Amino acid sequence: MRVGEREVAVTNLDKVFFPARSLTKGDLIQYYADLAPFALNHVERRPMQMKRHPNGVEGDFFYQKRVPVPHPDWLETVHISYPSGNEADFPVVTDAAGLVWIANLGCIEMHTWHSRVADVAKPDYMLIDLDPSEGNPWEHVREIAMVVKDVLDELGLPGYPKTSGVSGMHILTPIVIELPFPEVRRFAKAVAVEVSSRVPKIATTTWVVKDRTGVFVDYGQNAFDRTIASAYSIRPMADARASAPLRWDEVPDVRPEAFTLETMRERVAKVGDLTADIWQHRADLKPLFKTLKLKDPVVDDRVLVRPSRQWTEEEQRAWRERGRGSGWNRGTSRRPPKAADQGAAKPKEDV
């Protein structure tokens, strides 16, 4: 298949992927080729985790982080080193051909990180994920989404809503790439707590699933290695539902089933790309930590990535000594303070 300037090998185009709609793998691939100009705005230059459905929505699926070998020599990859010592090469999509190649692997949805390969330890957006469990109606999701907008407006922050493509809603706030994931998560938690306090009968930030009553205002997705289905992704639902960007004035009455593989082309032709300018409105969260009564953020991504070199004996000794009673390494850092730093680092607090 010719995609731009590249030839992409595609297979089994007639295989039915969505039996309820008689949609094939070829239909899925063509969708991503057609919507690439809009989807790439969210997908490109991010590590991608592949969720593969080789036999469509009614078959088994599996997750794959490591890029398959062999793969096209033009496909970019990023090498990720985890604090645990594990390593993996993730695929990185940069053009329409990459989207088509990923879809040909049976990836119905495009699962991407919240950060780009230039700095994988720092996200470029904050996410509030409205995640209803059984018994929580869609009407509650819509109502809570508008409360999220109120809180963001009061903080002077932009918000871009989109249907998750399943049963929830995502609100993205583009941010300056400067804070590591734990600090963005800490800020998002404060936002989520404020939202749930305004509509406590229908919203919750309770982490334990069995203890929840109401729609979960999820701030925890703001974390290293977490992914979401990007805007314009098709989801593995019987009706081939899509994750659709929305205008705020649409949210109070929106129905998620209105956006599918079959309707999104017409949708974009009618309203355009509602997120075309999202990265031109990056917000600086740092000054707002005080507004939310949070301690100042720590701008240090060393807490998220494995050191690029071995620690010296002096650094290790300083690490051990400062760990005795100082509290600096209580689940907040994976790297010791520099031996030359005479002041013990203070632990960060979650609010």
- Angle of helix 181-198 relative to helix 138-155, nearest 10 degrees? 120
What is the structure's pLDDT at 299? 84
Residue 17's nearest CA partner among 85, 104, 118, 86 is 104
CA-to-CA distance for 102 and 49, rounded, in angstroms? 10
Q: What is the pLDDT along the chain (351 residues), one digit of tens a residue?
A: 999 899 999 999 999 999 999 999 999 999 999 999 999 999 999 999 999 999 999 999 999 989 999 999 999 999 999 988 899 999 999 999 999 999 999 999 999 999 999 999 999 999 999 999 888 999 999 999 999 999 999 999 999 999 999 999 999 999 999 999 999 999 999 999 999 999 999 999 999 888 888 999 999 999 999 999 999 999 999 999 999 999 999 999 999 999 999 999 999 999 999 999 999 999 999 999 999 999 999 986 554 444 344 445 565 455 445 443 333 333 333 334 443 443 333 333 333
Q: Is 125 helix (H, G, I), strand (E, B) or coil?
A: strand
pLDDT for residue 134: 86
136: CB partners within 8 A, 6+ apart? 202, 214, 215
Task: Give residue 302's pLDDT.
Answer: 56
CA angle, 332 then 337 then 339, to 5°: 165
Q: Assign 3-state DSSP to the chain and report helix, strand, coil percentages, each to 5.
A: 30, 20, 50
Torsion sign over Cα 156, 296, 223, 133: negative
In whole angstroms, give the CA distance from residue 240 to residue 106. 14
- Label the pairing between strands 203-204 and 215-218: parallel
* Cis peptide, bond prior to residue 70, ω within 30 of zero: yes
Given the structure tokens 């059984």, which residue do they identify? Answer: 134
pTM score, whole prediction: 0.84
Residues 312, 290: Cα–Cα separation, whole Å? 37
37, 105 contact by CB (below 8 A): no
